[in-house]
Structure 1
Amino acid sequence: MRNSRKSKMATEENCHPKQAFGNVLQSDPNEDEYSFRISHTSETSHLPPRLSSDYSSPLATSPTRDSSASPYLDPSWDQSHQTSPLSRSPWTSHVENNSTNYSYTGLMGSLVREEGHIYSLAASGDLLYTGSDSKNIRVWKNHKEFSGFKSNSGLVKAIILSGERIFTGHQDGKIRVWKVSGKDSSVYNRIGTLPTLMAYIKTSMKPSNYIQTRRNRNTVWIKHFDAISCLSMSEDQKLLYSASWDKTIKVWRASDSKCLESIKAHDDAVNSIVVGFNGLLFSGSADGTVKIWRKESQGKGTKHFFSQTLLKQECAVTALAVDPSSNYLYCGSSDGLVNFWQGDKLLSHGGVLRGHKLATLCLAAAGNLIFSGSADNNICVWKRDGGEHICLSVLTGHSGPVKCLAVEEEQEQKGGDKQFIVYSGSLDKSVKIWRISSQLVPNQAEVGTSPPQNFPSSNSCRVSQRRK
């Protein structure tokens, strides 16, 4: 058994994840369903709620269809034709045509997929990108299917947008780069793979460029030899960072896809990375630590150096998020807690948000709101007021763990009230769309939401609790 898995299992024993996940998921020995190293659990024990539109789809006849039923796996579909397979899509959509009619905070609609789980999301304006274990990236425009493109291998663990390019990180350890066709905005072409074939061949020529992997095999240092867990871009969009279960972070120059650096960052799988606060790089790992890396100029290039360890605990760190507007760093863990630090106070520990019963799987920050998705199937909405955090509401509706989040601010504001569109991807095979108001009153319950009844007292929910 691999060393990282041994460390992971030790972490699981300390945090009692079997008890936490046992009532939610069933075991699947064939694959890890979480993109952080903590559990081998798989398929949700409860099927997603059926929508009326589901029954109009020929794929809705069976709730447990084999993945081979996906049209993308049909060899007759040739991606070289560069046509979008929308007519053969396994997705169904249930969203109001005129979403501006919604004046409340709550669930707007769902995008449901009959096979596979949702691992990654990215949003930009009216476009939403979804990645799943079918190896496909779907593109949605105004909550309707718009386009899609398919990788050759490796389920889609991460998606990040940078200008006209889309970077996707996969379980096979590769990063793929896509770009919209100049002739047809619904056609996406793959323009590269990281590392590039030429760079790989050139690097493999020198024996000194090889490193030993966990299986006593050698590989070149520019290549991840395990699943990519997340991607992040530098603030100036010049550097791409990739983190992997192979315990490393790699730094890529976005302009020419060159791998500049490989950082042996942690003693176990790196589950999350994020850039913020004047170029600082934060990394969270299954080894229970959050580390800071600083970027320094070195000759004509840059190099990253370890700065400090912000957190060291027994439970795995599963998610990180930065709010650059107010210099706050948030960290989710497999114990369900969300720690946070204040950048304008030399990254002093600000407190702990206690809102979930099971592992926190994903985080997102927008304006003065923070969103945390969990294995308990819920999304907590937190509002930051000064140094305190108030739990506004709990978004309920998913029947499986919430794996990923993406947030976009609405362009049309009503009365100065900032409103956000939140996309949540789940292992229940659906993406849900929510409208959230920054003026939401604490404990306000609307359609698709519920008050935080299962939290500690209202005072402890309003006031950030400092970690002992």
Structure 2
Amino acid sequence: MEHSASFNNNSLSSQRSLASVPSLNSHSHLFIPSTTSHSCLTTLKPHTSSSVYISCLTLAGNLLYTGSSDREIRSWNHTHFIQKPTTTNNNVVIAGKGAVKSIVVHSDKLFTAHQDNKIRVWRVTNLEHDQNQKYTRVATLPTLGDRLTKLLLPKNQVRIRRHKKCTWVHHVDTVSSLALSKDGTFLYSVSWDRTIKVWRTKDFACLESVRDAHDDAINAVAVSYDGYVYTGSADKRIRVWKKLEGEKKHSLVDTLEKHNSGINALALSADGSVLYSGACDRSILVSEKGKNGKLLVVGALRGHTRSILCLAVVSDLVCSGSEDKTVRIWRGVQKEYSCLAVLEGHRSPIKSLTAAVDRSEQDPNSEEPSFLVYSASLDCDVKVWQVFVPLLST
């Protein structure tokens, strides 16, 4: 979500689409959209208050983690609630002030980003064997030790307002998104304060801070297997960062300026070679990574009638959630994409998405692979969808 207090804010309203970028939408014989089927398996209602919504979703094994606008983090065993939709859930922890903006999982730890400018680290026990997980907070970033060691040297002080300074390890505005390196060694955080920070997951030390990485709030971050870091901002730009050989800090290696409105979401293809970006211009840009990390826009996916707010990739599918209250499922082959399904049922904009292969129903001989798509909306509901996708025709 852009740096805005409300979805009714003009900065979030849909803007004109990207007429200058060719459409990748296809009706090729390779696709048989009519044979795609989907159903809503269940609707989770974590909150009874209409003023609370789920602000982020993350899957890890059998667990679905949800973060909400009222500081709550919950875990759900999806094998239980798919079989028994009425099962109650008591795995809740409340932390910070304001919304939980992002959740990532590494081993037995959760890293959560918050509207109160902090990142919290939780150890989770009984991950697979007990429906009731236990959360233990092990750190709040930046850690007290990190703050104290940086406080001693004047060079570590940065000015954040006219008469106020703090150390460079602090985020001073909402931490909007998190991403892990391939091996889980590093955590990347981005913020509405326009900075990117790099943390070591072993001891939670802040190793690096890129100041003024963008000209406006940063809303999204994605990290590829080979170490390229992509950031999307309300300044309409996507920037690409890399720690070059022999260097200690990340350098800017590319800037993409094709969207004509603030960027809300980024997602990478399974092999990291394609970047998908969603913005208020209602289009999803598809960019291929070339030499030296340079991005080449090959086209746009069109169909949503309002802003793109979230993206998720599973296998060869791209899932997009929009302010138009729908989720679309896309598949691309040879630079042509088809919208295989439109998931309708939410009553408000789709705020967050995640997806996975449906292992419980997967038949090796089936001609229709099954996927589970989880969507969270401002209507306070989380819907679980089962999507059967046809094999590509030859």
Query: TM-score category by the smaller chain?
Result: 0.7 to 0.9
Question: What displacement does 1:344 show?
Answer: 5.8
2:78 matches 1:127: no
- In the TM superposition, residue 209 of structure 1 has moved relative to its aligned partner by 1.1
Q: Does 1:340 align with 2:286?
A: yes
Distance 1:214 1:365, change over 3 A: farther
1:422 aligns with 373
Aligned to 2:13: none
2:94 equivalent in structure 1? 150
What is the one-letter code of the residue matched to 1:121? L
- Cα–Cα, structure 1 residues 127 and 42, in superposed 2: closer, same or farther, change >3 Å? farther
Aligned partners of 2:183 and 2:173: how far apart in 1?
28
Give the letter aligned to residue 161 of structure 1: V
Q: Structure 1 pair 105/41, CA: closer, same or farther in 2 (3 Å)? A: closer
2:190 aligned partner: 243
Give yes or no for contact 1:36–1:229 (8 Å, CA) kept in 2.
Answer: no
1:131-167 Cα distance to aligned partner (Å, 9 max, x none): 1011110111122425121214342011111111100
Q: Is 1:213 the equivalent of 2:160?
A: yes
Matched residues in 1 for 2:319 and 2:7: separation? 24
Counterpart CA distance in 2 for 1:389 and 1:197 is 49
CA displacement, residues 361-418 of structure 1 (integer Å, 9 cap, x when unaligned): 0000111110110111111111112211101111111111101001111114133432
Which residue of 333, 346, 350 maps to 1:398?
A: 346
Q: Which amino acid aligns with 1:117?
A: Y
Distance 1:146 1:382 in 2: 35
1:319 corresponds to 2:319: no
Tell me, yes or no, if structure 1 residue 114 matches structure 2 residue 48. yes
The residue that corresponds to 1:259 in the other structure is: 206
CA distance in 1, matches of 2:260, 2:161: 23
- Cα distance change of structure 1 residues 390 and 39 upon mapping to structure 2, 3 Å threshold: farther
How far off its partner does 1:438 sit? Answer: 2.7
- Worse-superposed segment, 181-190 or 372-381: 181-190
Separation of aligned partners in 1, 2:332 and 2:162: 46
Q: Give the corresponding residue for 2:21.
A: none
Kept in 2, the 8 Å contact 1:291–1:310? The answer is yes
Offset of residue 325 of structure 1: 2.4
Q: What one-letter code is carried by the residue in structure 2 that aligns with 1:426?
A: S
- Find the aligned partners of 2:205 and 2:240 in 1 and give their Cα distance: 23
Letter in 2 for 1:223: H
Aligned residues: 347
User: Where in structure 2 are there 5+ consecutive unaligned residues?
Assistant: 10-35, 82-86
Alignment partners' CA distance in 2, 1:383 and 1:41? 29
Could you tell me how far apart the structure 1 residues matched to 2:110 and 2:300 are?
34
Q: TM-score with structure 2 length normalisation?
A: 0.83
- Asked if structure 2 preserves the Cα contact closer than 8 Å seen for 1:118 and 1:131, the reply is yes
Ranked by relative contact order (alpha carbons within 8 Å, sequence separation 6 or more), the top structure is: 2
For the residue of structure 2 that corresponds to 1:200, the secondary structure is helix
Alpha-carbon deviation of 1:240?
Answer: 0.1
Compute the displacement of 1:419 (Å): 1.6
2:224 corresponds, among 273, 276, 285, to 276
Contact 1:124–1:408, Cα closer than 8 Å, also in 2 = no
Kindly indicate whether the alpha-carbon contact (under 8 Å) linking 2:181 and 2:225 is maintained by their aligned counterparts in 1: no
- Matched residue, 2:107: 163
Task: Give the whole-Å Cα distance in 1 for the aligned partners of 2:340 and 2:188.
Answer: 33
CA distance in 1, matches of 2:121, 2:341: 37
SS for the counterpart of 2:148 is helix
Structure holding more helix per residue: 1
Whether contact under 8 Å (2:270, 2:313) holds in the other structure is no
AA aligned opposite 1:181? T
Residue in structure 1 matching 2:76, options 124, 137, 140? 140
Q: Distance in 2 between matches of 1:106 and 1:321?
A: 24
User: How is 1:6-405 mapped onto 2 (pairs within 5 angstroms)?
Assistant: 35-37=1-3, 40-41=6-7, 104-112=37-45, 113-115=47-49, 116-142=52-78, 143=81, 144=87, 145=89, 147-181=91-125, 186-214=133-161, 216-264=163-211, 265-276=213-224, 278-298=226-246, 302-325=248-271, 327-343=273-289, 347-405=295-353
TM superposition shift of 1:181: 3.2
Conserved 8 A contact 1:247-1:269: yes
How many angstroms does 1:105 deviate by? 1.6
SS state at 1:303 partner: coil
User: Displacement, 1:233?
Assistant: 0.3
Higher CA-based Rg: 1
Kept in 2, the 8 Å contact 1:359–1:375? The answer is yes
